[in-house]
C-alpha cells in the first residue's frame, strides 16, 4: 500500500539523479523527525541542567534571583520553536546518508581532540560541545537509523514506531522543563513535588547521564557512518583516496578551531568555526564527491544555523557561569587571607 502511494511521488523521470533523495521520501521524513526530536530532548536537558546549576549556585552564595537568565527567558519559544522544529526536520530529511556520515565523523574527531586539549576548562568545553552537537546529533540518529534498518522488509513501520517514541520523549522533556522553570523553587522548598525533590537531591547526575547517552549515540553513529561511506567505493584504493584528504583536512581544521575558540568569545567563535568546518567539507566534496553531496552540505549550513542561532544563550551561559565562579572565588580569597594570617599570629 505504501509503495503504491509513493510511486506517484516524482522521482528521477522528473528530476536529475543528484536532486533525488537517497531513500523513500516517507522514510527520509521519519528519520528527520526522529533527529529533530533528539535535538529537542538535548536542548531541554541542557537548559534544565543550567537552571539547576544556577539555582544551586545562588543558594550557596545567597544571591538574589530577580533577574532571569537569558536561557530561562527563551525557554518558551512558542511559534518560533515550532517553526524551528519543522525546519530542522526538513533539513535532516533532505541531507543524504553520505553527508550525514561525514558530519558525524567530523564531530567525533573534533570532540576527541577538543577533550584531549581542554585541560582545566573541560567542564566549560563539554557544555559548549553539547550545544554545538545539536545538528550533528540529528545526523547521527539519521545515519544510525539508515544503517540499522537497511534492507528491512517493513522499514517504514520500524521508523514510524521510533518516530512515535521520539515524539513522546521530546514532549515529556519539554513539559518537564516548563514545570521545573515555573515551580522548582516552590516545590523544592516545601518538599511538595516528587520530580522537583528528585532533581534537588540528584540533579548533579543529569550532566554525566547526558554525556554517557551522547557517547553511546555517537559511538553507534560512527560505526554506521564508516559503513555507509565505504558502500560508495568499489575498491580499497578508491576509499583510500577519499579518506586521506578528509583526515588531513579535518586535522588542520581542528587545530585552527581550537585556537579560534581561545581567541574569540564563545558564541562568536562557534559560528565562525561552523562556516570553516562546512566550507572545508564542501571543498572536499567538490574534489572527490558528487553534486548531490554539495547540495546536502548547503542544507547542513541551514541546519546548523537553525540549531545554533536560537541557542546562542546556551553557548554564552557556560562561559558566563565560569566567569561568575571565578569572580566569587576572587572575592572570597581576600577574606580568607586575613583569617589565615590571624590564626598564624595566634599560634
C-alpha cell read off for 298? 548547503
- Please state the domain count of the chain: 1
Whether residue 19 contacts residue 295, with contact meaning beta carbons closer than 8 Å, is answered with: yes
Could you give the angle at which helices 122-132 and 206-230 cross, rounded to 10 degrees? 50
> Is the pLDDT reported for residue 62 higher than 50?
yes
Whether residue 174 contacts residue 124, with contact meaning beta carbons closer than 8 Å, is answered with: no
Cα–Cα distance list, 211 to 11, 38, 76, 207, 274 (Å)? 41, 14, 25, 6, 22
Select the more confidently predicted residue: 48 or 110: 48
Rounded to an integer, the average pLDDT of 243-270 is 66
> Is the pLDDT reported for residue 168 higher than 90?
yes
Sign of the torsion angle spanned by Cα atoms 14, 18, 23, 29 = negative
Cα–Cα distance list, 234 to 38, 96, 241 (Å)? 34, 19, 12
Rounded to an integer, the average pLDDT of 246-271 is 66
User: How far, in Å, CA of 107 to CA of 91, rounded?
Assistant: 18
Band of the pLDDT at 77, cuts 50, 70, 90?
Answer: low
Residue 106 covered by a domain: yes
Could you give the angle at which helices 79-94 and 291-308 cross, rounded to 10 degrees? 160
Residue 332 covered by a domain: no
Residue 337 covered by a domain: no
Residue 193 covered by a domain: yes
Whether residue 103 contacts residue 136, with contact meaning beta carbons closer than 8 Å, is answered with: yes
Residue 305 covered by a domain: yes
Rounded to an integer, the average pLDDT of 127-145 is 90
Query: Per residue in 226-255, is it b (16+ CB within 10 Å) or e — as a string?
Result: eebbeeeeeeeeeeeebbeebeebbeebbe
Residue 132 covered by a domain: yes
Band of the pLDDT at 174, cuts 50, 70, 90?
Answer: very high
Residue 31 covered by a domain: yes
- Structural domain including 268 reads 23-325
C-alpha cell read off for 51? 537552571
> Is the pLDDT reported for residue 278 higher than 80?
no
Supply the pTM of this predicted model. 0.81
Identify the top-confidence range among 55-69, 138-152, 180-194, 313-327: 138-152
pLDDT at 65: 44
Rounded to 5°, the CA angle 88-92-93 comes to 115
Whether residue 274 contacts residue 131, with contact meaning beta carbons closer than 8 Å, is answered with: no
Residue 178 covered by a domain: yes
Rounded to an integer, the average pLDDT of 91-98 is 88
Amino acid at each position: 500500500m505504501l509503495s503504491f502511494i509513493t510511486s506517484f511521488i516524482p522521482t528521477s523521470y522528473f528530476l536529475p539523479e543528484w536532486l533525488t533523495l537517497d531513500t523513500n521520501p516517507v522514510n527520509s521524513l521519519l528519520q528527520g523527525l526522529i533527529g529533530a526530536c533528539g535535538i529537542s530532548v538535548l536542548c531541554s536537558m541542557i537548559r534544565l541542567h543550567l537552571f539547576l546549576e544556577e539555582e544551586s549556585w545562588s543558594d550557596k552564595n545567597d544571591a538574589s534571583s530577580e533577574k532571569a537568565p537569558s536561557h530561562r527567558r527563551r525557554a518558551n519559544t512558542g511559534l518560533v520553536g515550532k517553526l524551528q522544529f519543522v525546519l530542522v526536520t526538513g533539513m535532516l530529511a533532505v541531507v543524504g546518508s553520505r553527508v550525514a556520515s561525514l558530519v558525524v565523523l567530523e564531530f567525533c574527531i573534533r570532540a576527541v581532540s577538543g577533550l584531549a586539549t581542554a585541560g582545566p576548562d573541560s567542564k566549560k568545553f563539554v557544555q559548549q560541545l553539547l550545544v554545538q552537537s545539536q545538528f550533528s546529533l540529528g545526523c547521527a540518529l539519521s545515519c544510525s537509523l539508515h544503517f540499522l534498518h537497511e534492507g528491512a522488509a517493513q522499514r517504514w513501520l520500524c521508523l514510524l514506531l521510533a518516530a512515535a517514541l521520539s515524539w513522546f520523549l521530546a514532549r515529556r522533556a519539554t513539559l518537564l522543563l516548563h514545570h521545573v522553570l515555573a515551580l522548582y523553587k516552590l516545590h523544592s522548598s516545601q518538599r511538595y513535588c516528587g520530580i522537583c525533590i528528585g532533581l534537588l537531591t540528584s540533579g548533579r547526575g543529569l550532566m554525566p547521564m547526558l554525556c554517557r547517552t551522547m557517547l553511546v549515540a555517537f559511538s553507534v553513529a560512527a560505526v554506521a557512518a564508516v559503513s555507509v561511506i565505504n558502500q560508495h567505493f568499489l575498491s580499497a584504493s578508491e576509499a583510500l583516496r577519499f579518506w586521506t584528504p578528509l583526515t588531513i583536512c579535518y586535522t588542520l581544521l581542528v587545530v585552527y578551531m581550537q585556537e579560534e575558540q581561545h581567541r574569540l568569545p564563545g558564541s562568536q567563535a562557534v559560528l565562525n568555526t561552523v562556516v570553516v568546518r562546512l566550507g572545508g567539507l564542501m571543498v572536499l566534496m567538490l574534489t572527490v564527491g558528487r553534486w548531490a553531496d554539495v547540495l546536502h552540505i548547503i542544507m547542513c549550513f541551514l541546519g546548523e544555523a537553525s540549531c545554533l542561532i536560537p541557542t546562542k544563550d546556551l553557548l554564552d551561559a557556560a562561559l558566563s557561569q565560569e566567569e561568575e565562579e571565578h569572580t566569587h572565588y576572587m572575592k572570597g580569597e581576600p577574606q580568607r587571607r586575613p583569617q589565615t594570617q590571624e590564626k598564624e599570629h595566634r599560634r
